[in-house]
Amino acid sequence: MLAALRWRGGDGERVLAGRGFGCAIARLALQDPRPAALPPFRRGSWTLVANGELWDHARERARFERAGLSFATQSDQEVLAALVAEDLPLAPRTCGMYALAAHDADRHRLILERDPWGQKPLFFSRLSDGVAFASTLPALLAHPEVSRELDLVSLADALSYGYVPGLATPFWAIERVPPGARLVFDAANPAGVSARFEAEPGGAMEQLAESFASAVRSQLVADRERALFLSGGIDSALVAAAARDAGERWRCALTASFEDGSDERELAHATARALGLELQEVAIDESVLEELPRLTTLAGEPLGDASLLSLHLLARAARERGAAIAFGGDGADEWFFGYDRYRAWSAPLALGVAGDLAHEGDAPEGARGLARFARLLAQRRASYPGLLRKVGGRTLRALLRDDAVYAAWCERQRALEAELPLVRGSAASAARFDRRFYLPNGPLAKGDLACHAAGVELRAPFLDRRVIAAAPLEAGPWWRRGKRELRSLARALGLPASVARAKKRGFRTPLATWIRRSGGAAALLAPHRSTLECLFAWSPIARWIDEHDRGRRDHATRLYHTLACAHFLTLHGTETAPGTSPAQWGA
């Protein structure tokens, strides 16, 4: 298992084997990097292994010291061990990003716990006489009792969404620990019992400036060099401005540049000039596609967001410049209503007739402006998850060939929507759906993988309890763009008007250009045909390839999803388990 974890660390490792509990640790040392601070940490009968950071560890350390406890290191994880020993759920009372396993030797209990946002990954599998857990799927699969059988329904999700939403994974016997959950396994509850804390926006928007500044200050505390990823959007610009006010002088500020000019470097440079930053460009071209097999190997699941590749190159450049920590703007869209799909979902239903350009994700990609918004209006007539899918239900049914598997996939979609009911016309309900089913397994999983694979930890100040307490309860009128509160904050922090007013573009990648310059879709996917045909029908894929290479339609995203799945299947085979995943799609 340790061999499958080393890429996440590099600053020390340890294997612990004891009665009833064993673990392997690969450390990325960010607080107190001395060898003496190498986990695991013990407090009383508890042994703790964890991944992540505790932002309020100084305050908690002081509380424990007043109560007479002493600490041997300056590591935040030693403080986390003391908090775990209090035997109370962490999520409602701490501020941080973490995934942890804690063993209580006196009561023979195992606790698995994860931060409310799901920033740090944690997987587990129930065994005949216990539980196996790991930060990565490959590490868990190294356990001889963990089944490698694939869940075809989850692979259908990966093709459709570009990730697997909910708690299922591509492996039938492996589940995700839910964000904000505390799972307890003991003799009385061998299957585990859970409690889940779900953060909600507080609506205290008058406190946003102070709360955001506090979040950035606390996350800047570290014993390693820090880097800034500046996309050109308002989110990373706000992080940069708040860090400046906290006294940070970034030695490493990076932005991505693409040959076709589809990046946001002009806005990024405008922010850099306003803040006095020396911004460096990282040139990215089609050769970045060569990183996909390695990253898929490390992840142990297909991730279909091509910005994973660009972000990984930024993280590698940061590490080459001496940084082990990077800052970005993740979470701002989901908490401050930044996506256009929120506007489309909350628009009057009658407007849907204006957008009859698409159905369930089968529209031509690349539409912008009014055409894009019209497509979103058309898609939302069916369901909100339809706005997230890149492969729609009808095409997916043809891909799966087996009606029983397609029926199981449809049942999972209904289960997702039933778990967190969506209110048509309410952007707040759509954002809440995204925070549970999209953010943890999509953007945050991508960011964690891309950066740790380069020896860098990604921090996101927008995912801080103090900022969430100041996030709005509901979006404004559907015809207005989101993030109004952030635009006001940008003006107050002196950011350029061009950045504050800029329309959302996201960290888009010129995927169609990369595919064309790599010899076309046929050259990329034809070598994987025999592997894909073990589970999927080839004809829909062949149609995408033909239409894309002829320039008739832009299927770049769907083709990339397919390529990610092909690399995954090449690594893990095509043996599928009967039925659907045993993972509960709820908490």
% pLDDT > 70, the chain: 91
b/e per residue, 178-199, with b = 16+ CB within 10 A? bbbbbbbbeeeeeebebebbeb
Question: What mean pLDDT is predicted for residues 324-341?
Answer: 95
- Which one-letter DSSP state was computed for residue 456? -
d(CA 545, CA 117): 37
Can the peptide bond before residue 40 be classed as cis, meaning omega within 30 degrees of 0?
A: yes
CB 164 within 8 Å of CB 154: yes
d(CA 191, CA 3): 28
Q: Which of 6-20, 463-477, 532-546 has the lowest mean pLDDT?
A: 6-20
Question: What mean pLDDT is predicted for residues 320-341?
Answer: 95
Q: What is the pLDDT of residues 388-442, one digit of tens each?
A: 899 988 899 999 988 899 999 999 999 998 988 888 889 999 999 999 999 999 9
CB 470 within 8 Å of CB 205: yes
Phi/psi at 146 (nearest 5 deg)? -85, 125
The whole model's pTM is what?
Answer: 0.92
Contacts of 533 (CB under 8 A, 6+ apart): none
* Residues of the chain by 3-state class (helix, strand, coil), percent to 5: 45, 15, 40
Q: Which of 192, 16, 20, 44 is nearest to 108 (CA)?
A: 20
| Mean pLDDT taken over the chain | 89
Query: Is CATH 3.40.50.620 correct for 205-334+438-501?
Result: yes
- SS3 for 435-460 is HHHCCHHHHHHHHHHHHHCCCCEEEC
Residue 587 confidence (pLDDT) above 50: no
Query: Is CATH 3.30.530.20 correct for 2-147?
Result: no
Of residues 190 and 335, more confidently modeled: 335
Collapse the DSSP code of 185 into the 3-class scheme (helix H, G, I; strand E, B; otherwise coil) and give the result: strand
For the chain, the domains span 2-147, 205-334+438-501
Q: Which of 51-60, 190-199, 284-293, 541-550 has the lowest mean pLDDT?
A: 190-199
Q: Alpha carbon of 225 to those of 31, 252, 501: distances in Å?
A: 11, 9, 32
The pLDDT of residue 488: 94
Q: How confident is the model at residue 335 (pLDDT cuts 50, 70, 90)?
A: very high
> What strands lie across the sheet with 46-54, from one edge to the other?
41-43, 46-54, 96-104, 109-114, 181-185, 193-196
Q: How confident is the model at residue 506 (pLDDT cuts 50, 70, 90)?
A: low
The pLDDT of residue 359: 36
Collapse the DSSP code of 26 into the 3-class scheme (helix H, G, I; strand E, B; otherwise coil) and give the result: strand
d(CA 318, CA 227): 6
Q: What is the pLDDT of residues 339-378, one digit of tens each?
A: 988 988 887 754 543 433 333 344 333 334 445 555 666 5
Collapse the DSSP code of 414 into the 3-class scheme (helix H, G, I; strand E, B; otherwise coil) and give the result: helix
Q: Which of 55-59, 163-167, 372-376 has the lowest mean pLDDT?
A: 372-376
The pLDDT of residue 271: 94
The pLDDT of residue 373: 58
**Residue given tokens 């910005």 in the structure block:** 307
Q: Which of 371, 400, 342, 336 is nearest to 539 (CA)?
A: 400
Residue 552 confidence (pLDDT) above 50: yes
d(CA 237, CA 253): 11
Q: Alpha carbon of 102 to those of 38, 51, 97: distances in Å?
A: 16, 12, 16
Q: What is the pLDDT of residues 220-274, one digit of tens each?
A: 999 999 999 998 899 999 999 999 999 998 989 999 999 877 778 899 999 999 9
Max CA distance (Å), the chain: 72
